[in-house]
């Protein structure tokens, strides 16, 4: 999206106090999240070996930052895009029982990102994954998990308000649910982003179900890799998909605000179908995909929750560069400075 400069933006916290608030939010939310979903913290890699199928390829077009490892026969490693598949292998390695899971701090570099208020070269998120039973692969389980995450978010917002009473809460009491196909039918002729804006403005907080499968207008709501989220299985509402995005309405920027991408993960049948749809059957020879086909990975649900995005939202900041250090175009730094938005570099 294009850079947004709010017309009446005012700092709620000075930079020094913002740092204190960031720590408060991160400490509080990860504690709430771990309790809500029965997760334990693990340490995650910054990079993984290429050509194993472990790295997340996001929308399938972004290129991972990579380098050669002299000490390992000059083999290529990649900086992670996310840990969507790595986490599932760890559930198996640690033998984590159904109903329990793990979370970690994920740090990534996305060199192809278009930089604006919400997008940075540097990505920091809580990546989490939870073992489930095969019979839990349904829409009710997905919605119940979303509600638990939202409760942890609301509790964190309350702590911020207690510490900084001039930052008043904006989240609605409950999160709503809608399928991406319902949005196509409700808002014909609009782009996915326009549909997100309309429903987020109306509901305040919404989980959009079914990200990745082709909709009735011939296009998916957004692209999703074919080998982690299940976006092809028919759910109990009669639509396709057991995944989705948590979208909030950002009152500072007056736009929809994606906080989390998550979903029930593919089983053998869903992965085979989705790889076929995307013409990616060559991945079946990769390490991760073989493990899933051979039944060595548990059924799971998981996702990522943006750390800087959460801080940005709860502290009512106008730009993600106010809560993290990164690199920005000089003209963007100057535009923001003139509006009282100071980016960390």
- Spell out the per-residue pLDDT of the chain, length 345, in tens: 789 999 989 999 998 999 999 999 999 999 999 999 999 999 999 999 888 888 876 555 568 889 999 999 999 999 988 898 999 999 999 999 999 999 999 999 988 889 999 999 999 999 999 999 999 999 999 999 999 999 999 999 999 999 999 999 999 999 999 999 999 999 999 999 999 999 999 999 999 999 999 999 999 999 999 999 999 999 999 999 999 999 999 999 999 999 999 999 999 999 999 999 999 999 999 999 999 999 999 999 999 999 999 999 999 999 999 999 999 999 999 999 999 999 987
Instruction: Name the catalytic one among 56, 157, 182, 322.
Output: 56
pTM: 0.95
Q: Which of 162, 194, 172, 183 is nearest to 248 (CA)?
A: 172
Instruction: Name the catalytic one among 30, 82, 125, 260.
Output: 125
What DSSP assignment string belongs to 192-260? Answer: HHHHHHHHHHHHSEEEEE--SSB-TTSSBSS---TTSB--SSB-TTSSB-SEEEEEEEETTTTEEEEEE
214 counts as catalytic: no
Instruction: Name the catalytic one among 116, 258, 283, 332.
Output: 258
Instruction: Name the catalytic one among 30, 57, 88, 110.
Output: 110
Largest CA distance in the chain: 57
Question: What residues does each domain of the chain span?
Answer: 15-338
**Sheet bearing 75-79, strands edge to edge:** 47-49, 75-79, 66-69
229 counts as catalytic: no
Report the top-level CATH class of 15-338. Answer: alpha beta
**Beta strand ranges found along the chain (DSSP E):** 39-41, 47-49, 66-69, 75-79, 101-109, 122-131, 176-179, 205-209, 243-250, 255-264, 300-306
261 counts as catalytic: yes
Cα→Cα distances 320→9, 109, 122, 237, Å: 14, 15, 10, 36
110 counts as catalytic: yes
């Amino acid at each position: 999206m294009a850079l947004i400069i709010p017309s009446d933006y005012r700092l709620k916290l000075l930079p020094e106090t913002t740092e204190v608030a960031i720590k408060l939010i991160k400490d509080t939310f990860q504690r709430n999240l771990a309790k809500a979903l029965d997760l334990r913290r693990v340490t995650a890699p910054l990079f993984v070996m290429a050509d194993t199928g472990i790295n997340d390829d996001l929308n399938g077009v972004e290129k991972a930052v990579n380098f050669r490892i002299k000490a390992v026969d000059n083999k290529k490693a990649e900086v992670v895009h996310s840990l969507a598949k790595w986490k599932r292998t760890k559930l198996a390695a640690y033998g984590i029982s159904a109903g329990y899971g793990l979370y970690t701090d994920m740090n990534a570099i996305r060199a192809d990102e278009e930089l604006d208020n919400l997008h940075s070269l540097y990505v920091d998120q809580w990546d989490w994954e939870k073992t489930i039973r095969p019979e839990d692969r349904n829409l009710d389980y997905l919605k119940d998990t979303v509600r638990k995450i939202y409760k942890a978010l609301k509790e964190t917002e309350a702590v911020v308000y207690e510490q900084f009473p001039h930052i008043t809460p904006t989240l609605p009491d409950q999160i709503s649910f809608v399928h991406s196909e319902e949005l196509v039918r409700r808002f014909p002729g609009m782009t996915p982003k326009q549909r997100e804006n309309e429903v987020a403005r109306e509901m305040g907080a919404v989980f959009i179900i079914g990200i990745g499968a082709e909709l009735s207008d011939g296009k998916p709501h957004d692209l999703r890799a074919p080998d982690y989220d299940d976006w092809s299985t028919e759910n109990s509402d009669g639509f396709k998909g057991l995944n989705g995005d948590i979208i909030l309405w950002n009152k500072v920027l007056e736009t929809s605000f994606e906080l989390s991408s998550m979903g029930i993960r593919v089983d053998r049948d869903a992965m085979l179908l989705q790889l076929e749809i995307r013409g990616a059957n060559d991945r079946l020879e990769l390490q991760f995909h073989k493990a899933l086909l051979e039944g060595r990975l548990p059924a799971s649900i998981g996702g990522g929750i943006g750390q800087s995005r959460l801080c940005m939202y709860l502290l009512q900041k106008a730009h993600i560069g106010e809560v993290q250090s990164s690199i920005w175009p000089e003209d963007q730094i100057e535009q923001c400075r003139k509006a009282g938005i100071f980016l960390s570099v």
